[in-house]
Structure 1
Amino acid sequence: MKASRSPAAVRHAFENASLRIPIADIMPLRQLTPAILKSVKYAQIAASIAEIGIIEPPVVVRDKSDPDRFHLLDGHIRIDVLAKRGDIEVVCLVAMEDEAFTYNKRVSRIAIIQEHKMILMAIEKGVPEERLARALNVNIASIRHKKSLLEGICPEAADLLKDKHVPINTISELKKLKSVRQIEAVQLMIAMNKYTISYARSLVAATPDSQLVRGKKGMKGLSAHQIELMENESASLDREFKTIEQDYGTDHLELVLATGYVARLLGSARIVRHLAQHHPDIFSEFQKIVELQKAA
């Protein structure tokens, strides 16, 4: 009986345990610029560390010639803040290899709705609003604004936006719309990949009064005729979008089948010779289709 092959061992990215390391033994890969030191991000991290300590450990890698010294891969601001506070040591994750990239570039930044949910969870667990404000280095009004972020937003629209990076003022504009129109507006934003406050305002301006929460709107610099034109254009765009959305699945399936058939045709040497000799233009186009399929 043939022995079964053992699965390949999974290679660890980090050492098995975190390590408490003297800050003096950690060598930064870059220096923080004056602009970074004065940035909002630096102030927020400093405030968070002062209030609740280090949440995400810095990432280091051992020096190849001296294993007791370390190169800092990720966490330059955190280490700088700790050093200026007078801390001597910090708990770090020790990477097995220096992959020569900044870890933060591989991290998906938290979306505004996810931040809202985290704030609600913290408050439900008894964390005072004042402490949250200090930890995030924002004023308490900002915490309260984010706490009530989804008041007036229908659940379907909120779900569509849950992982999108949407400005908080865009959410405020969407609150002017009734639920059905909110969903339509969010779908248009996603289709256009555009979540700016100006785009949200244009969608509100192009919305009929009957779909607004507070009825008739007034737009500075626009006449009633111009607003009516925007509403008609928006309605036309909505209809075109829904038509395209309905046809997309069928069109995509037909395209996949067609490109697959062309690829099989070009897999035959006899057909390739015939096309090359008698229909070179068609043969050239078929080759482009197959190349595009391979690149996809």
Structure 2
Amino acid sequence: MQIPIKRAIERVPGGMMVVPLLIGALFATFAPGTPQFFGSFTGALFSGALTVLAVFYVCMGASIDVRATPYILKKGGTLLFVKIAVAAVLGIVSGQILGELPVSGGMFAGLSTLAIVAAMNDTNGGLYMALMGQYGEPRDVGAYTVMTLESGPFLTMLTLGIAGLSAFPWQALVGAVLPLLAGMIIGNLDREMRAFLSRAIPVMIPFFAFALGAGLDLSRVWQAGLLGLGLGVAVVVVTGIPLYLADRATGGTGVAGVAAASTAGNAAAVPAIVAAANPAYAPAAAPATILVAAAVIVTTVLVPLLTAWVARRRAPGRVAEDTARG
């Protein structure tokens, strides 16, 4: 007898991130003593998020081919620059208003500069590549090899520093990007190692998601309700418009730009890493994780709908071709 567990999880937007995160949060809310009770390897599963993420970024780096074609460099570089530039501007503005701490009360309770920057900085690569496979061209899919440089906490830390908030020691900044760089070196020196390590990327996601969820109390999740929805919509609108215009300006149809206007599942891990590097952000980490996770879900639903709409308007021939093939 076979139970389609994987298929069921993948029906949930961002399921491989969201479902394990929720399971971990259920333990944290209703059985918070579980990791201490069992200890050993079981306890390590609840508390090993940073370790698993370190391995994840090595594998992610190995998937990046530095010998990208000029088109891939232009397309991916443009989308990468626009995404992080928008996040930087918002980080500077919100940093002047909010500082490092989250909003303590009212309808914006839990919102922080950390949550805004983390949600805006990182594109959902799997979603982007799937949408480009359907509505774009193969070389558009390849553009994500450049955009993977968004992954990890480095750009978020850098943006927070640029915003004039609590700075990070240079060791923390370098340490945040070293696993990614190490993976890039290994993967580009040996294609077989790239293939070997790249296969582990999706496997890591549910494990670090579970460990992150184990630090979240669901009694606070209700606060993310409309605020989490609003943050997700803001990611699509605020990053989507500049990305669309940038894609058009570089000769594209705008489809790739809209497809990149999402929040990556692993972005939910960034607040915890940032807080570990600088305790000034510790109060914002837990609510930011919840808000970013909500943004992952919202953008995973909205971006495909908008991408399909733009594709019908800008590339009707390709959409008709795909429909005929399907």
Q: TM-score, normalised by structure 1?
A: 0.23
Structure with greater helix share of residues? 2
Structure with greater strand share of residues? 1
